[in-house]
Amino acid sequence: MVSRVSLSHQRRNASSSKPRFSKHNPYLSSHGHSGAIPEPSSPSSTYAPSRPKRLVVGVTGATGTVFAIRLLEILRELGVETHVVMSKWALATGKYETPMLDADVRQLATHSYSPRDLSAPIASGSFVHDGMLVVPCSMKTLAAVRTGYCDDLISRAADVCLKEDRRLLLAVRETPLSDVHLDNMLHLRRAGAVIFPPVPAFYTRPKSLDDIITQSVGRMLDSFGIHTDGFERWDGFDWKSKQMS
C-alpha cells in the first residue's frame, strides 16, 4: 500500500512540475530522448511561398490560334508564369493560320507539355495555379470537359480547375451552334466556367485584325484580375470627338 501511494504521489508531482508540452518533453523528441522542440517555421516561407502569378493555357485545334499566341505574348510581357499544352490539331491549325512554328509558340511559354503527358504537374489539383484558359476551345474539348472524360492533358487540366474551384475560361470557337453545343456550354457555366466566345467589339473602332485580337485577349484576362491597357475600353459616348453624322 505504501509503495502504491508513493508511486501515485510521484506521478502527481511529475504532472504538476512541468507543462505537458515543455521544450524538454521526451514524448516530443526523436527516439524517446529528451530534446528541445524546434521553433516553428515562418508561415510566410513554409506555407505561403511567394511566386509569380501562374496560368495554364490550353490550345485546341479550333480556328483562332492567333488568340493563344497573343495571349502568351501578353502574359510573357507581364511576367506571368505560363504552362501551355497544345493538342495535335492545334499544331496543324497553327501552321495553317500563322507563320509561327510549334517551337516559336512554345518558347513564349514558361513551361510546355505534351497533350499525352497526364503525369504533368497541371494534371494534379495539388499543383497550385491561378486558373486556366482554353484558347481556342473546340467543341470536342468542350464536350470532354462537360462529361469529365479526360483522355488528354487539356481536358484533364480543365477538369482539375472545376473540381478545385479555380477560374476556367473556355474561348469557344464554333458557329452556328447546335443544341448539343449550347447545352454543354450551359452545363459548364453552371459548374463555374467562363464561356467566352471571342466576339469582336466594334465600338473600339478597330483599325486592324491585331486590334480585334488584342481586345478579345484583354477581356479574357480581365476574368483573372489581370487588367491591361493595351486596348481601348468603353468609357461612354464621347459626343465631342465621335459625333454621329
User: What pLDDT tens digit does each residue of the chain (245 aa) get?
Assistant: 444 444 444 544 544 444 443 444 443 334 444 445 455 545 444 555 667 899 999 999 999 999 999 999 999 999 999 999 999 999 999 999 999 888 899 999 999 999 999 999 999 999 999 999 999 999 999 999 999 999 999 999 999 999 999 999 999 999 999 999 999 999 999 999 999 999 999 998 999 999 999 999 999 999 999 999 888 898 888 755 655 55
220 is in an annotated binding site: no
Helix axes 88-97, 65-77, angle to 10 degrees: 90
Tell me what pLDDT residue 117 has: 97
Domain-by-domain residue ranges, the chain?
51-222
Largest CA distance in the chain: 111
225 is in an annotated binding site: no
139 is in an annotated binding site: yes
Tell me what pLDDT residue 51 has: 78
15 is in an annotated binding site: no
219 is in an annotated binding site: yes
62 is in an annotated binding site: yes
Instruction: Give CA–CA dist 90/64, Å, rounded.
Output: 9
Contacts of range 191-194, beta carbons closer than 8 Å, 24 or more positions apart: 191/162, 192/162, 192/165, 192/168, 193/145, 193/158, 193/161, 193/162, 193/168, 193/169, 194/167, 194/168, 194/169, 194/170, 194/223
Instruction: Give CA–CA dist 155/15, Å, rounded.
Output: 58
106 is in an annotated binding site: no
3 is in an annotated binding site: no
Write out the three cell numbers for 15. 504532472
Q: How far is CA 49 from CA 41, 45, 46, 218, in A?
A: 12, 5, 6, 28
- The neighbouring-strand residues paired with 234 are none
Architecture of domain 51-222: 3-Layer(aba) Sandwich (3.40)
Q: How far is CA 1 from CA 4, 7, 8, 44, in A?
A: 5, 10, 11, 56
Tell me what pLDDT residue 23 has: 43
163 is in an annotated binding site: no
